[in-house]
Chain A
Amino acid sequence: MLGYIIRRILAVIPVMTIVAVFVFLLLRLTPGDPAAIIAGDMATPAQLERIRTSLGLSEPLHEQFITWVGLLLQGDLGTSLISNTPVTQMIGQRVWPTINIAILTIVLSVLIAVPMGVLAAWRHRTWVDYVVMAFSVLGFSIPVFVIGYLFIQTFSIGLGWFPVQGYVAPSEGFGAFLSRAILPCLTLATIYVALIARMTRASMLEVLGEDYIRTARAKGVKEIVVLFRHALRNAAVPIMTIIGTGFALLIGGVVVTESVFNIPGIGRLTVDAILARDYPVIQGMILLTSGLYVFINLIIDLSYTFFDPRIRY
């Protein structure tokens, strides 16, 4: 088991190396003079020169790479071309809102979706099942910004339950965080609830047809125990996969929700950086999201061995 974990962690190294090479080349191999692209049409020769030196563009490619990786390993992602602050610092300020929102979203989604899916599978082909499936189709088909504005309109402006926009860190008061985060999280959650509920239902349907479910019933075990102790754990692996992918996608895909709810997260940081052609920030963002993606996949892979003792590597 420990050997497997170590091997799995070591496997992260080549993946992240490829990502790093890609990120490095992103700027260098763009056709034309990167400095000119970054500086834009109105740049003066002095500005171009300043950008070239700051990026070390006049040195040979491999030396640039070595320098860049060296700095990267020390946690130095460069300096923003616009605000002149270190990229790590910029990301550090913006990443927590996004991660907090993502975690809350996934927790909400799982809490809502898994029981929904279990119920739908248990009551297969009854109205309960049809309602769950209808909700799931709806969750897939309504765009995020529509749901977001709908929620604001109803719960914030109409009922006045929650603030319209903004973000407060959990450390400054969990209640305040929750009251502001709940609507964006529910907004984000709709599609994940739809996805996870569907996957749970499909996976549970398969498991509920298994012989050991019949055995459990023949033992006189209560239905709720049959569903959650016997069936759900067997159905868990595909559900975990979906949750993991969902979480990773969340980190990268919160742009719209952050804009609608005015949350200072990395989604907006990315958009701003792209609009301003702030290459060091863009590079940092790519590294961060792919790193998170790899990390989450690692956690999911390791979780399989917890759910299914037959998985041994």
Chain B
Amino acid sequence: MRFKTRNFDDVPSVLRIDELTVRLADNDTAPPVLDRVSLEIRQGETVCLVGESGSGKSVTSLSVMGLLPKGALAATGGRIELEGRNLLALGAQAMRHMRARKISMIFQEPMTALNPVIRVGAQIEEVLDTHARLPAREKRARVLDIMSQVHLPDVERIYHSYPHQLSGGQRQRIMIAMALILEPQLLIADEPTTALDVTTQKQILSLIAELQEKHGTAVLFITHDMGVVAEIADTVHVMRRGQIVERAPVEGLLRHPKHDYTRELLKAVPSLTPRPSRPQPDGPAVLSVDGLQKIYGAHGLFSRRKTTRAASDVSFSIPRGRTLGIVGESGSGKSTVARCIMRLIDPTDGEIRVADREIARLSRRALRPYRKHIQIVFQDPFRSLNPRWTIGRSLIEGPLNTGAEKKTALKRAAELLMLVGLPDDAVNRYPHQFSGGQRQRVAIARAIAMEPDVLVADEAVSALDVSVQAQVLELLETLQRKLGITILFITHDLRVAAQICDEVVVMQHGRIVEHDSAANVLSNPRHAYTRSLIEAAPGRAWDFANFHELQTV
């Protein structure tokens, strides 16, 4: 693993945050959201701010931009200094002049960060319109120039495109172009690659590094991903509950973490080394899929749209008590397969057998009794539970539908909550009273309340912090041991797949390109696409949990 080992001792500082304190606007008694945060970024330096959700990383960056949500958060103490001026003391107009000229920001979600009804060329141009007066011809030339600097293909066409006509990676390039067109001293990147596929992430990270080199920009990079930190950081600051608990050059931090929390965080990073393989059980497959196919846009009375093959010729089977992972990037068809198996959508062709019953062709009505055999846990626990229903009501809905008594169902619900590690009195509470990890436990309890043979986990840990992720993975594992349940685990994250799967299926463009044991797929990938996925995984040469290079056997 090669780290950046640049020395910034003599380099002038660009941004200096001094004892910054941010509080809830109308609540002085609550603990501060940011508690005396100090950090410095020097010319050309990349400073990573790492921490879990709610640690105050984004609040720090928004404070620098002067974009704290009005009426909700307010900076109550400290200084943010750029070019000798205290940004906190600037008026609204003066602050507006700093943005894009001196400090720029790119955001996590390129899908939503661009205005959907304005052409992207015009959106970049708006930065020039706001801060400089240029003749139309020169303006356009500068926009096209920055667009080619971020390596967008066919810039003339993209200039006239709307955001929805571009891919996620292209949109993030547009964001970067927009942020850097006026060559600001400081670029704040708030989880800029979290929503992207690994291969795209790799490209965007190297693009940021390239432009940083070229323009000498200082970068404040906010992330929760230690792999990304290992790849790009010069200096790392670890945040927890509004405080910076540790700061160090990247290599020092990864090798010799001092603070307990940092160690905890690093230990929770799932390893790319696959788990020890379990003995292959004999016995028939609980779930088997044969020649599954899903084509979109095939019929329609008036439409002559092109058809899309979301999945073609997908076949696999899982025996009882085993976990099969489907890995792939967005658009690979992995979620389509999961939804077909759940019969949330109807497959175009192929067979799906759950506990020896062919369900691909059953009508909705005939399917109902078989629904209980196969249950799903979704990605986002904040949206998959009805916010107006008590946990108990969510848990017993399924059993009631299949004819259980309300009283016994409620008793069972309390037991299930204990089983997933929640207090049994949680039945009477509402989802908003729980954290993300706890909600995902509820979602798992809801799924196993039906006593299914197969549990489909569709990116079930992707929205969770690493430490919580580890706990939920462990819970799934325990449940599998206790109940002998079969798990189909859909994920984009190779590290997670390595931790939980016995077998891995790699999908690309709706097809299976590789299917083998987890150990073989991860350490001896045969298909070029699998190799590129593994190579793109950030920090893959580092063993985070053990604070040293990965020992290759």
Contacts and interface: CB of A to CB of B under 8 A. Distances in A.
A220 interface: yes
A216 B164 contact: no
Interface of A: 7, 125, 210-212, 214-222, 225, 229-230, 233-234, 307-310
Nearest to A221: B130
A211 B116 contact: no
A218 B105 CA distance: 7
B430 interface: no
SS class of chain A's interface: helix, strand, loop or mixed? helix
B113 A215 contact: yes
B237 interface: no
A215 B114 contact: yes
B109 A222 contact: no
Contacts of A230: 115, 118
A218 B104 contact: yes
B441 to A, nearest CB: 29
Given A210-B112, A211-B107, A310-B164, A218 B117 contact: no
A219 B130 contact: yes
A307 B117 CA distance: 7
B529 interface: no
Nearest to B109: A211
A309 B166 CA distance: 13
Contacts of B127: 219-220
B162 interface: yes
A220 B117 contact: no
Nearest to A217: B67
Contacts of A222: 96, 130
Contacts of A210: 112
Contacts of A221: 96, 126, 130
A210 B118 CA distance: 15
A313 to B, nearest CB: 9
A265 B10 CA distance: 83
Given A218-B105, A220-B101, A220-B131, A211 B117 contact: no
Contacts, number: 72
Contact of B112 (A211, A229, A309, A310): A211
Interface string B79-122: 00000000000000000111111001101010011111110000
A199 B162 CA distance: 26
B65 interface: yes
A218 B115 contact: no
22 contacts: A125-B71, A210-B112, A211-B107, A212-B112, A214-B113, A215-B107, A215-B113, A218-B67, A218-B100, A219-B178, A220-B97, A220-B99, A220-B100, A220-B130, A222-B130, A230-B118, A233-B118, A234-B116, A234-B117, A309-B117, A309-B162, A310-B116
B115 A212 contact: yes
B113 A212 contact: yes
Contacts of A308: 116-117
A14 to B, nearest CB: 14
A242 to B, nearest CB: 19
Contacts of B99: 217-220
A218 B127 CA distance: 10
B253 interface: no
A37 B126 CA distance: 68
Contacts of B105: 218
B120 to A, nearest CB: 11
B175 interface: yes
A7 B304 CA distance: 14
A304 to B, nearest CB: 11
A233 to B, nearest CB: 5
Contacts of B67: 214, 217-218
A220 B96 CA distance: 4
Q: Which of B115, B126, B131, B178 has the most CB of A within 10 A?
A: B115
A215 B96 CA distance: 13
A24 to B, nearest CB: 30
A211 B195 CA distance: 14
A70 B104 CA distance: 68
Across the A-B interface, the 5 shortest Cβ-Cβ residue pairs:
A220-B99, A211-B112, A212-B115, A211-B113, A220-B96
Interface string B357-373: 00000000000000000
B114 A212 contact: yes
A308 B99 CA distance: 28
Interface string B158-199: 000010100000000001001000000000000000000000
Nearest to A124: B71
Contact of A310 (B65, B109, B162): B162
B100 A215 contact: no
Nearest to A213: B115
Given A216-B126, A222-B96, 17 more contacts: A125-B71, A210-B112, A212-B113, A212-B114, A215-B114, A215-B178, A216-B115, A217-B67, A218-B99, A219-B127, A220-B100, A220-B131, A221-B130, A230-B115, A230-B118, A233-B117, A234-B117
Given A219-B130, A234-B115, A234-B117, A214 B107 contact: yes
A217 B69 CA distance: 12
Contacts of B126: 216, 219, 221
A217 to B, nearest CB: 6
A47 B522 CA distance: 96
Contacts of A234: 115-117
B326 to A, nearest CB: 29
Contacts of B65: 218
B296 to A, nearest CB: 16
B250 to A, nearest CB: 27
Contact of A215 (B117, B130, B175, B302): B175
